[in-house]
Structure 1
Amino acid sequence: MTPITATRTLSIAAAVLTAMIMSSFMEPVAAANRDVDALTALRKGLRDPDGALTNWDPSLVHDPCTWFHVTCDGANRVTRLDLAKHRLSGPLAPELGQLDQLQYLEIYGNNIQGQIPSELGGLTNLISLDLQDNSISGPIPAALGNIKSLKFLRVNHNRLTGPIPRELAGLPNLRVADFSSNNLCGTIPASGALKSIPPSRCVELRLPPIHGFDHDVHFAGNPRLHQGGSYVPNC
């Protein structure tokens, strides 16, 4: 190898190494920026009379880990939103689906309106989705069935309509699901986490232990929801 060739080889190797190092720094920054964008979109759509989101302003502090009611992991990625009972009103932003490290989304006890964004189905690390006691309307997105990590799903006391998506019955880790006090209709999916509900318990809303662990599934307050018969995707 001539000196010129060796020099060129070293230069190329150095350039590749530099690019790899820069990429390793830029990737976490880009991910954190997506978290900021998602939270900013949520805040812009909400009315916040109690000032719970006062410091959610990237023009002042760009680090969402310092914002009220936000928890992050060691990589400065958002893992938890605790926004319960702050009198928030308005829609849930579809951009919340960008929070790919989110584990807990707790927005219960507000006056959230509009529909549940189907983009939430992209939250593949989510453990708890608690939207109870709001004014959310429309259908339950079938995309929530993509969240295989989900253990707790609470959408009770809203204005949800349509059937319970069959995809939710395939959630392998689901332990608690509360659909009560909505306007859901059709047949309860008779499989997976929602199966083996005795008809007499459909009103009492508690599913007995199955497969060695306890499930807690609630359906009351949905007069058009019933058990038995073929599953119909529309009602």
Structure 2
Amino acid sequence: YSTNGPTSWNLYNDASWLLPSTECSWGESFDVECSNDNVVDRISFYDDGLSGTIPGEIGLLSSLTSLLLWGNNLEGTIPTEIGVLTSLTGFSFSRNANLSGRVPTELANLSNLEELYLYNTQLTGSIQSDLCSTLTDAAIDCGEIECDCCTSSGSLGVTPC
């Protein structure tokens, strides 16, 4: 995803990932995994220096099972389009200090979600209790994000918030 404006994603100021090739041909340089049909099903950019905003077009990746973007320099909000990614089992935007706004209520649509990581951000709001039954692991800023899954000790299951 790239535009001429401030919503472009930059990866260590390396534009080679924007060359006219399919995402599935990027190889191990960029952690994008694809199905046998060349459909993106996993994105893992962690501690990669990724900066910019998360585009709403992320919702077009309908086969995505894992979206792990922790430890980058993302800013702005989580787009509501995230709610159409119903195949997601893993979701992490942790350690993006400039990621802000409310957690989208559309997160409740992710009925297959098993892992959710939203700590060390500026996010606020709440996590719907419907997600508690599917989550096997989570780390959330329980002081900022209301979550029925969080216990009185500040944890979800055995994982501290």
Into which bin does the TM-score normalised by the smaller protein fall?
0.7 to 0.9
Q: Within 5 A, what are the aligned runs for 1:1-235?
A: 39=1, 45-51=8-14, 54-58=16-20, 61=21, 63-67=22-26, 68-134=30-96, 135-161=98-124, 163-166=125-128, 169-171=129-131, 172-180=133-141, 183-184=144-145, 188-189=147-148, 194=149, 197=151, 199=152, 201-202=153-154, 205=155, 207=156, 215-219=157-161
TM-score where L is the length of structure 2: 0.84
Q: For residues 217 and 121 of structure 1, what CA distance do their matches in structure 2 show?
A: 24
Superposed CA RMSD: 2.2
Q: Tell me the amino acid that sits aligned with residue 134 of structure 2.
A: N
Where structure 1 has 5 or more consecutive residues not aligned to the other structure, the ranges are 1-38, 208-214, 220-235
Q: Per chain length, whose mean CA-contact separation is higher, i.e. which structure has more relative contact order (CA < 8 Å, sep 6+)?
A: 2
Change beyond 3 A, Cα 1:216–1:144: farther
**Is the CA contact 1:114–1:136 (under 8 Å) kept in the aligned structure 2?**
yes
**Deviation at residue 102 of structure 1 after TM alignment:** 0.5
- By percentage of residues, which structure has more helix? 1
Aligned to 1:226: none
**Deviation at residue 145 of structure 1 after TM alignment:** 0.8
Change beyond 3 A, Cα 1:131–1:188: closer
**Is the CA contact 1:152–1:176 (under 8 Å) kept in the aligned structure 2?**
yes
* Higher mean displacement: 132-141 or 173-182: 173-182
User: For 1:7-59, what per-residue CA distance to the aligned partner results, in whole angstroms no more than 9, with x for missing partners?
Assistant: xxxxxxxxxxxxxxxxxxxxxxxxxxxxxxxx557xx61132252x623323x
Q: For residues 57 and 127 of structure 2, what CA distance do their matches in structure 1 show?
A: 22
- By percentage of residues, which structure has more strand? 2
TM-score where L is the length of structure 1: 0.59
Aligned length: 153
**Deviation at residue 217 of structure 1 after TM alignment:** 4.8
Q: For residues 216 and 92 of structure 1, what CA distance do their matches in structure 2 show?
A: 30
User: For 1:141-164, what per-residue CA distance to the aligned partner results, in whole angstroms no more than 9, with x for missing partners?
Assistant: 110110111100101000112x31
Where structure 2 has 5 or more consecutive residues not aligned to the other structure, the ranges are none
Q: For residues 188 and 121 of structure 1, what CA distance do their matches in structure 2 show?
A: 18
